[in-house]
Amino acid sequence: MQQDTDQTFQPLKPGFVITGLKPYFNDRTKLPNKRYPVTWKHVELPLCNPEIIKNVINNTIVQIEGVRSEYNEKKFMWTLEYGTKPLELTINKSDFKLRKIIEHKKYAAIMAATVAIEKFPHNDEFFEDGEELPDPIPCFVNGKWTNLQIYLTYDDEKNTILVEFNRYNGDHVSFYFVANIIETALKAPTLLNWIKRSDYLAFTQGIEYHHNNHILKYLCDDMVKREICSFL
């Protein structure tokens, strides 16, 4: 009789630790460690106070018309929705009959428009002389619906902060439209220069100054601070 070679799973003994695994949060930055794999669309920033980056992202999101956002403080994650959500995504997934009706009507509308273009190619004759049919509205002006997420993580190997963009659902073009605006704001030279110098300037503003201390007098001199910042 052949013996069963399968082994039952044995739970880990108390005190057993799996080596080689990094903690979810980094103690130094209080940010989640970078995810694996990192999304291909991301921004890499010098290590700084994460609140600076969060403020830039929040201020940029507010300026994008048609974007609704929600921030999760525990996960350091933004959930963004842009455009009008398709009707079929607003109903219960279990209502197959209603979803089928909506899909059928959308398909019928597309087919009707296609047939109308083929049968009436000279509709532009109804316009006055010199007028032309209006151009189609570009997708980046009147974008379709998209749902995306932004993650704030820390890369301990490079000692940098990552801002990752992930398209959760919806239209690709609208995703890039929103993500590119935020990415441009994060890559602004003025922001990058401030990030590199913010810790040093905060140090000079936070120490207790005394005019008789020649070291502090030197460090807190405005011209000296400008010279040091030029090398940062």
Q: 79-107 pLDDT, tens per residue? A: 999 987 766 666 776 767 777 776 777 67
Say what the pTM is: 0.64
Q: 161-184 pLDDT, tens per residue? A: 999 999 988 888 899 999 999 999
Confidence band, pLDDT 50/70/90 cuts, at residue 124 = low
Q: 10-37 pLDDT, tens per residue? A: 444 555 444 555 678 888 888 999 888 8
SS (H, E, C) the chain: CCCCCCCCCCCCCCCCCCCCCCCCECCCCCCEECCCCCCCCEEEEECCCHHHHHHHHHHHHHHCCCEEEEEECCCCEEEEEECCCCHHHCCCCCCHHHHHHHHHHHHHHHHHHHHHHHHCCCHHHHCCCCCCCCCCCCCCCCCCCEEEEEEEEEECCCCEEEEEEEEEEECHHHHHHHHHHHHHHHCCHHHHHHHHHHHHHHHHHHCCCCCCCHHHHHHCCHHHHHHHHCCC
Structural domain spans, the chain? 21-83+143-187, 189-232
Confidence band, pLDDT 50/70/90 cuts, at residue 53 = very high
CATH topology for the 21-83+143-187 domain: TATA-Binding Protein (3.30.310)
